[in-house]
Structure 1
Amino acid sequence: MATTTQPAPVPAHELVYEPKQLPKLRSNYGAYLDQSNVGWLKETSIDTPLEEVRARFEADGYVYMKHLMPREDVLGVRQKYFEHLQPTGILKPGTSPRDGIFDTTQDPIVHNGVGGKDLPEDLERQRLLQSAHTLPVYLAFLEHPDFRSFIRKFLGCERDVIVKRTLLRHNVPNGLSTGCHYDRIFLRAGEDFLTAWVPFGDCTAAGGGLMYMDDSSDVGKTMEEDFMKRAEHFTPEERINGFNLNMAKDGQLTHNVAELDEQLSSTHASPTGVRRKWLAANYEAGDVIFHNPYMLHAAVKNEDPLGKIRLSTDLRFYPEGGRIDERWMRSVWRPDDGL
């Protein structure tokens, strides 16, 4: 009788978990993306060898790290943020700030966060959005040893520099959040950098987190090269300004991802001829996704069935000694900082 042998188990860091049911994704405006054009971000576990992490980043333009930080450390920031904003009436009465459940009797547009198409008109709400960036629990999080240690190892440097102007922002159900863009648009005055997107809390694929256009680094680079050619006669200040005549008024490529996807399928076809998918994830507290400056991405319209508010931060890193976009080192985010 032949001996039955079991195949060697696949290492955990090589497993890619893909839920069966694809999410429904759309942006601030426009139709849902066709389901055939939607997929899942590849997950990478924290025990993945560093060289493999870097290889995935180079190949895909992003790397989605699972459970990079302790869950409770992240949820603590979420709780303090919504305690800070509770006077605005953003939370459903009787619910916990840590849960961050939106009061659906409120107008979502009144409770737009940083990076939405329009900020709230109420000056007190704007003040709270700004001062949230100086909450002690948030500033301590920015120095989280697990997080910053990984950054340094990934960048291959002894010290890293985080830009002061971070973007701590929420996305309420049925509100407006970030349109489609690539990050280089806003940080043109320095060299390339690393972006980290950190969700503060669990966020389903349809709950307002980020979606990425797969294999789109070449698209962003082509767009940037085209802009620089047309900007040859601009002043230096105009050339680095993200709010230029080629963009929407808030510096985004568009707020209608479905429409942009149709345009790019003909003008920026994939080298393989296969239509690029838009990728999302069921993010968990403690996850971090890193991407390069040219990956196209946008916030998903928040349609969380439980009314959960997405809270996240956008962070940019340079190796120490790198040429930094000094505009982003002046201070924390302000409504009138022009960036």
Structure 2
Amino acid sequence: MASDTKDLPPEIRAIQGSVPQHMLGWLRETPADTPIAEVRHRLYEDEYVFVKGLIPRADVLKAREHYFSQFESLGMLKPGTSPVDGIFDSDEDPALHNGIGGGEPIGKEELQRLTDAHAQQPYLDFVAHPRLRKMIRNIMQWEKEALVKRTMLRHNIPGGHSTGVHYDQLFLRGGDAFFLTAWVPIGDTRATGGGLMYLENSTGLGKAIEDDFFARAKDFTLEEKISAFNRNMSANGILSDNPLVFQQDNEHLSKKTQFRWLVADYEAGDVVFHLPHTIHSAVANDDPEGRIRLSTDLRFYNQKDVDAGTTDERWNKYWTPGDGL
């Protein structure tokens, strides 16, 4: 269990570079039975809320086992291990088995199985979990929540690609309505095992970057303005592959010059909720046991905003490779 007193890793690696220990901290833990008013307060105070044990562990591991059982015949998993463990076969080339962000699988069959997994009923049942959905409604005080159809179910293998620095509003500029992200690790994930790290108190910086983007995008077409893949962004829509370089390049947009990246030892059942401009990045997967990180990103709107047509309708379809989002 992560806490303020637990020793932090010596460093956290990213796609490029690493974050040294003195620039790291632990995410604040919020037990699932915390009064909802306090949960809501922490979301807006910390710009995330890390809820421990929200989904029953058995339900999470069932989803993990179902996912990896589909890849068992493709050489991804270590021989003699169980799909629920999700242990990568270290004799395999990591480049052939990426499944996250800009590192989608090279193998045609593996990519097809990743695509299909987004629309399979066991996964759809998992993301409709009543404990998850109830927490969303209670935090946001919505009568009914709406999950966008395009979810991001991904695996991150040791030695593989991971997601760079970004905030989610970059990818949902096609609507004006507020949305809340739920990041769900599907299995235990050490702080160095490929999970998410959050830039502390970064929403103001995220908003400043967004404002700066729109100031420089006056001559863009509407299509360019709502796209994260425009000429003011990197090729894969993120802000940077290197967390420290990102901070140095954007200090002029923030009152702060020293930020910490917050990490956690995630356990099956945990969920992190974060705001649209909260800056975060994936950690490189250096799990010593070769455990593959599996997770899903879920974006929720108020159903009233969906009915009013103020949401990003581009996300009303299942993820497919190269869909431009």
TM bracket, shorter-chain basis: over 0.9
TM-score (norm 1): 0.91
Distance in 1, matches of 2:255 and 2:294, equals 33
Deviations 1:249-301 (A, max 9, x none): 1111111112223334x424445x6x110000000000000000111111001
The yes-or-no answer on 1:314 pairing with 2:300 is no
Partner of 1:83: 69
Partner of 1:10: none
CA positional deviation for 1:26? 1.8
Distance in 2, matches of 1:256 and 1:131, equals 31
Which of the residues 188, 192, 203 maps onto 1:217? Answer: 203
The yes-or-no answer on 1:118 pairing with 2:103 is yes
Correspondence list, 1:1-339, <5 A: 17-23=3-9, 24-30=11-17, 32-115=18-101, 117-190=102-175, 191-264=177-250, 266-271=251-256, 275-322=258-305, 323-329=310-316, 331-339=317-325
For the 8 Å contact 1:219–1:268, the answer to whether it is kept is yes
Distance in 2, matches of 1:26 and 1:295, equals 20
- Residues 262 and 217 from structure 1, CA distance in 2 versus in 1: closer, same or farther, beyond 3 angstroms? same
Number of aligned positions between the proteins: 319
Distance in 2, matches of 1:47 and 1:135, equals 31
For the 8 Å contact 1:26–1:258, the answer to whether it is kept is no
Distance in 1, matches of 2:80 and 2:150, equals 34
Distance in 1, matches of 2:245 and 2:312, equals 32
CA positional deviation for 1:19? 4.3
CA positional deviation for 1:118? 3.1
Structure 2 letter corresponding to 1:57? L
Structure 1 letter corresponding to 2:84? R
Partner of 1:3: none
Match of 1:318, SS state, is strand
TM-score (norm 2): 0.95
Match of 1:54, SS state, is helix
Distance in 2, matches of 1:46 and 1:174, equals 33
Give unmatched runs, 5+ long, in structure 2: none
Match of 2:42, SS state, is helix
Give unmatched runs, 5+ long, in structure 1: 1-15
> What percentage of aligned pairs have identical amino acids?
50
Structure 1 letter corresponding to 2:3? Y
For the 8 Å contact 2:30–2:39, the answer to whether it is kept is yes
Structure 2 letter corresponding to 1:267? H
